[in-house]
């Protein structure tokens, strides 16, 4: 699906039509693909920053390791102790952070663009709370052999259905939809607390990550599930992002252009639900990442497109940096990444709410 | 007045009486109604007497005081902000009070000797921020945006509170029982400290109710009627700070009571603030008591934080208020 395809005009053969200014038109599989040059450059810069954050995350910790020793240790060279530290302890944590951040970034940019509202993210409309509640139910009530991921998916889907159903759709009611989401989130959050109160004292420690997001107690299974989910969801989201650009136009125009509005909306919500739910299953309800990441990506890539890849990269960057800050700022004490994102992102969210008169995404 | 009596105060009073009785005879422990009722009649065995008179009675009294404070504060704040969604817990007033208390304890004070003033100042700051935001261009004419901003502020203050608690073990130990919002284990001494603050807050709320009612007609009309909007709002802020600060000092942050009580009261007796206040005085304690009884029974033999139960009751009400197309109705 290319953004330039039009039933009446055959797409120009690759390399024949001049690309519009500010874009590239490389050939891909015999079709031409229109790329926004600035968006590609922005994604490149964000990607480089992510790599830098990964390197620093691998070397910094209670046992510091020089960067020069860290990278070989990833590949298994160097002191056995260093290799163990990097491969067994830090690498899984960094991988989890990357995946969680990318998933939340994608979820955020899709929901924001769909609702045409920067505040519509999985944490503000209750998706994270729903995923948390169901994941906790799987840990507390059901046997723990069942991966919380499946439950978290059901939970985020339930919350999305509740919020959208009660508000009568996204974006039609402006901010009303968000307050409905707030209510849904509060109720589901209270249910989570209720289940945690029922749980025996031993599981209180197990339960902590479910009260605030952190990369501390991720399980290998849920990270693997999230990785698989992302491998599917990210390409889907890129395609949907191109469709969403069209949805900014009036519905009649969009239908005239041959886009099936209802289907696209449903696919967008489903993708956002899956990414948010799987991310919560790994790291708990990490707040504000889904709000900040698309914002960073939009600032970098310019207002023209829907920066799906950029948001994924920016989300990974935000989570890695939050985790890094939490581990280092008060060492040896550790602040969960979710607290760092809340304290850093909170003022920005407030500013967003109090200053801009209309926060429609262009 | 007869309408208010019949429609509001009589049903609310009946519910309150039932709630007090339930609060005395039901609990998470061994002493059920069969053993508790004789105590109320002046008899009963030693265990039952202890459970009812030394554990449940003080708890009931504190819950009544907290309920009065939160219900009245919610009604006043909603009228002052002209927003049916304005609620001390949602707008960051309670979060401000908790944050102030935690900061004061972290800087060396002891929770045991700390009076309610830190909480009152924190609530005042939170309230000033909320009403200041309500006055901002663009936020004030959108009641929903004010709530979102309040939720954002609450979240931010809550996260800041958690950071302090994580970094400072002593503070965490001192306030662990308190940050979740609960009336369990409170004694009448708590009330001795907080009582005067709540009484002062109530007095200010009652005195300010007339000018605040006029504000509901818009500032211009209020001025024409001889009121001073700025002064009325300052009085409202003082009342809310005293009431919420006192309630938080006594029982920690408890959300949604200030939303549910005025909502039901308005449904019973209409939007006039003086009538709503009269009903809230009775309905507030009834709601908190019922929530507290539920918090004892839901997860027996454990107990839950009261704030969780009020959220379960309040969240659907929030959704209902937003869905009703009468926003903004104040």
The reply to whether A112 falls in a domain is yes
Give the long-range contacts of residues A137-141, CB within 8 A, separation 24 or more.
A137/A195, A139/A203, A139/A206, A139/A207, A139/A210, A140/A195, A140/A196, A140/A198, A140/A199, A140/A203, A140/A207, A141/A195
The number of domains in chain A is 1
pLDDT in tens, A94-152: 999 999 999 999 999 999 998 888 888 998 889 999 999 998 888 777 655 567 889 99
Q: A3-7, B45-49, B190-194, B243-247: which has the highest mean pLDDT? A: B243-247
What is the pLDDT confidence band of residue A264, given thresholds at 50, 70 and 90?
confident
Residue B205 vs residue A79, higher pLDDT: B205
**CATH code of the domain covering residue A81:** 1.10.3470.10
Decide if B315 touches A, using CB distance below 8 A: yes
Closest-CA distance of chain B to residue A66, Å: 28
Q: Do A186 and B136 touch (CB under 8 A)?
A: no
The confidence score (pLDDT) of residue B182 equals: 74
| A329 Cβ contact partners less than 8 Å away, ≥ 6 residues apart | A335, A340
Reported as a single tens digit per residue, the pLDDT across A281-308 is 999 889 899 999 999 999 898 877 889 9
- Tokens for A104? 């939340």
Taking contacts as CB-CB distances below 8 angstroms, the residues of chain A near B305 are 193, 197
Q: Does A270 touch chain B (CB under 8 A)?
A: no
pLDDT-derived band at B243, boundaries 50, 70, 90: very high
Enumerate the β-bridge partners of residue A31.
A28
> Given a cut of 50, is residue A2 above it in pLDDT?
no
Residue among B85, B156, B311 whose CB faces A347 most closely: B156
* Domain-embedded: residue A350: no
pLDDT at A359: 44
Residues in chain A: 362
B329 touches chain A (CB under 8 A): no
Distance from CA of B231 to the nearest CA of A (A): 24
Please state the separation of Cα A64 from the chain's center in Å. Answer: 29
Q: Chain A within 8 Å of B196 (Cβ-Cβ)?
A: no
Query: Any idea which of A4-18, A71-85, B38-52, B160-174 has the lowest mean pLDDT?
Result: A4-18
pLDDT of res. A212: 83
**DSSP for B76-145, written as a single string:** HHHHHHT-TT--TTTTTHHHHHHHHHHHHHHTT--TTT--THHHHHHHHHHHHHHHHHHHSTTTTT-HHH
Q: How close B174 comes to chain A (CA, Å)?
A: 19
B132 touches chain A (CB under 8 A): no
Helix (H, G, I), strand (E, B) or coil at A28: strand
> Quick one: pLDDT band at residue A226, thresholds 50, 70, 90?
very high
User: Nearest CB to A353: which of B145, B256, B308?
Assistant: B145
HSE, side-chain direction, 13 A CA sphere, residue B240: 37
Decide which of A140 and B211 is more confident. B211
- Calculate mean pLDDT across residues B178-203: 83
Which member of A124, A178, A198 has the closest CB to residue B299? A198
Looking at the predicted structure, is the pLDDT value of residue A17 above 80?
no
Summary mean pLDDT of chain B: 86
Homologous superfamily of the B1-324 domain (CATH): ABC transporter involved in vitamin B12 uptake, BtuC (1.10.3470.10)
How far apart, in whole angstroms, are the C-alpha atoms of residue A184 and residue A162? 7
Q: What are the domain boundaries of chain B?
A: 1-324
Question: Tell me, what's the pLDDT at A318?
Answer: 97
B34 CA to chain A: closest CA distance, Å? 26
Q: How far apart are CA A320 and CA A49, in angstroms?
A: 11
In A116-219, which residue ranges form alpha helices assigned H by DSSP?
127-140, 148-167, 176-198, 202-207
Average pLDDT, chain A: 83
B255 Cα to chain A: minimum distance (Å): 10
| Distance of alpha carbon B185 from alpha carbon B27, whole angstroms | 13
Q: Give per-residue pLDDT as tens, A28-73.
A: 666 666 777 888 899 999 999 999 999 999 988 878 888 888 888 8
Which residues of A, range 163-202, sit inside 8 Å of B by Cβ?
166-167, 174-176, 178-180, 182-184, 186-187, 189-191, 193-194, 197-198
Asked whether residue A154 carries a pLDDT value surpassing 90, the answer given is: yes
Asked if A176 and B309 come within 8 Å (Cβ–Cβ), the reply is no
Is position A333 within any domain? yes
pLDDT computed for residue A94 by the predictor: 94
A204 belongs to a structural domain: yes
Q: Do residue A197 and residue B308 have CB atoms under 8 angstroms apart?
A: yes
Quick one: pLDDT at residue A250? 66
Domain holding A175, by residue range, is: 39-344
Residue, of A49 and B2, whose pLDDT is higher: A49
Q: Do B148 and A174 touch (CB under 8 A)?
A: no
Predicted pLDDT at B12: 92
B148:A342 CB<8 A: no
Q: Which of B151, B153, B327 sits opposite A182 (nearest CB)?
A: B151
Residue B330 has pLDDT above 50, yes or no: no
Q: Tell me the mean pLDDT in the region B30-50.
A: 86
Evaluate whether B236 touches B79 at the Cβ level (below 8 Å): yes
Q: Which of A73-87, A240-254, B221-235, B275-289 has the lowest mean pLDDT?
A: A240-254
**Three-state SS sequence of B193-229:** HHHHHHHHHHHHHHHHHHHHHHHCCCHHHHHHCCCCH
Domain-located, residue A16: no
Please tell me the predicted confidence (pLDDT) of residue A200: 59
Contact A183 B255 (CB under 8 A): no
Q: What is the pLDDT of residue B66?
A: 95
Minimum CA–CA partner of B309 in chain A = A190
Across the interface, whether the CB atoms of B160 and A343 are under 8 A apart is answered: yes
Residue position matching structure tokens 């024409």:
B224
Count of A–B CB contacts within 8 Å?
118
% of chain A at pLDDT higher than 70 = 81
Of A174, A187, A197, the CB nearest to B315: A187
pLDDT in tens, A204-224: 566 666 778 888 877 788 899
Better-scored residue on pLDDT, B8 or B181: B8
* pLDDT tens digits for range B102-138: 999 888 777 667 778 899 999 999 888 877 777 765 5
Reply yes or no on whether the pLDDT at B176 is more than 90. no
Confidence (pTM) = 0.88
Nearest residue, CB atoms, A343 vs list B142, B163, B256: B163
The predicted structure's pLDDT at residue A258:
65
- Closest CA of chain A from B157, distance in Å: 8
pLDDT of A9 strictly over 60:
no
Reported as a pLDDT band with limits 50, 70 and 90, residue A201 is low
More confidently predicted of A109 and A169: A109
For Cα atoms B90, B93, B99, give the angle at the middle one, nearest 5 degrees: 110
Inter-CA distances, A55 with A58, A95, A329, Å: 5, 12, 18
Q: Is A156 within 8 Å of A277 (Cβ atoms)?
A: yes
pLDDT at A174 over 70: no
């Amino acid at each position: 699906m290319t953004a330039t395809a039009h039933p009446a005009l055959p797409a120009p053969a690759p390399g024949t039509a001049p690309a519009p200014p500010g874009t590239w038109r490389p050939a891909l599989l015999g079709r031409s693909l229109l790329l926004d040059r600035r968006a590609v450059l922005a994604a490149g810069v964000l990607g480089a920053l992510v790599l830098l954050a990964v390197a620093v995350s691998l070397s910094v910790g209670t046992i510091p390791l020089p960067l020069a020793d860290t990278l070989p240790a990833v590949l298994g060279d160097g002191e056995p102790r260093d290799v163990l530290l990097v491969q067994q302890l830090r690498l899984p944590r960094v991988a989890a952070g990357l995946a969680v951040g990318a998933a939340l970034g994608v979820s955020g940019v899709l929901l924001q663009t769909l609702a045409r509202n920067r505040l519509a993210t999985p944490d503000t409309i209750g998706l994270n709370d729903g995923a948390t509640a169901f994941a906790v139910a799987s840990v507390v009530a059901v046997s723990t052999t069942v991966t919380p991921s499946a439950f978290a998916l059901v939970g985020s889907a339930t919350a999305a259905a509740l919020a959208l159903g009660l508000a009568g759709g996204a974006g039609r009611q402006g901010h009303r939809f968000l307050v409905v989401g707030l209510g849904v989130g509060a109720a589901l959050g209270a249910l989570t607390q209720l289940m945690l109160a029922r749980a025996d004292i031993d599981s209180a420690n197990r339960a902590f990550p479910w009260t605030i997001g952190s990369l501390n107690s991720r399980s290998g299974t849920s990270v693997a599930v999230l990785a698989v989910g992302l491998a599917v969801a990210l390409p889907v989201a890129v395609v949907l992002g191109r469709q969403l650009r069209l949805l900014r136009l009036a519905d009649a125009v969009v239908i005239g252009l041959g886009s099936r509005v209802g289907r696209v909306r449903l696919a967008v919500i489903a993708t956002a639900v899956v990414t948010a739910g799987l991310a919560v299953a790994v790291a708990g309800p990490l707040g504000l990442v889904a709000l900040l990441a698309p914002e960073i990506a939009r600032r970098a890539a310019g207002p023209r497109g829907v920066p799906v890849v950029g948001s994924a990269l920016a989300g990974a960057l935000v989570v890695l940096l939050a985790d890094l800050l939490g581990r280092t700022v008060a060492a040896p004490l550790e602040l969960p990444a979710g607290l760092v994102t809340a304290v850093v992102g909170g003022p920005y969210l407030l500013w967003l709410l109090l200053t801009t008169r209309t926060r429609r995404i262009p | 007045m007869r309408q208010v009596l019949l429609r509001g105060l009589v049903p609310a009073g009946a519910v309150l009486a039932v709630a007090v009785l339930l609060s005395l005879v039901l609990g998470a422990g061994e002493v059920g109604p069969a053993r508790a009722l004789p105590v109320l009649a002046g008899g009963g065995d030693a265990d039952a007497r202890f459970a009812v008179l030394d554990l449940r009675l003080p708890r009931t009294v504190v819950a009544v005081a907290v309920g009065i404070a939160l219900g009245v504060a919610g009604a006043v704040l909603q009228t002052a902000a002209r927003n049916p969604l304005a609620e001390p817990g949602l707008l960051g007033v309670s979060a401000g009070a908790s944050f102030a208390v935690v900061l004061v304890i972290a800087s060396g004070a002891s929770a045991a000797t700390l009076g309610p003033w830190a909480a009152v100042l924190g609530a005042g700051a939170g309230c000033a921020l909320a009403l200041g935001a309500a006055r901002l261009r663009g936020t004030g004419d959108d009641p929903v945006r004010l709530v979102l901003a309040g939720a954002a502020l609450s979240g931010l203050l809550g996260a800041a509170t958690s950071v302090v608690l994580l970094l400072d073990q002593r503070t965490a130990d001192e306030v662990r029982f308190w940050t979740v919002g609960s009336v369990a284990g409170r004694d009448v001494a708590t009330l001795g400290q907080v009582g005067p603050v709540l009484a002062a807050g109530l007095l200010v709320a009652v005195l300010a109710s007339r000018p605040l009612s006029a504000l509901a007609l818009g500032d211009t009309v209020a001025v024409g009627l001889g009121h001073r909007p700025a002064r009325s709002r300052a009085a409202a802020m003082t009342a809310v700070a005293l009431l919420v600060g006192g309630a938080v000092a006594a029982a920690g942050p408890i959300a949604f009571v200030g939303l549910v009580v005025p909502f039901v009261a308005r449904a019973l007796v209409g939007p006039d603030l003086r009538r709503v206040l009269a009903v809230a005085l009775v309905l507030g304690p009834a709601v908190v008591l019922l929530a507290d009884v539920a918090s004892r029974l839901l997860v027996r033999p454990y107990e839950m934080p009261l704030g969780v139960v009020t959220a379960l009751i309040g969240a659907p009400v929030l959704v209902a208020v937003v869905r009703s197309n009468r926003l903004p109705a104040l």
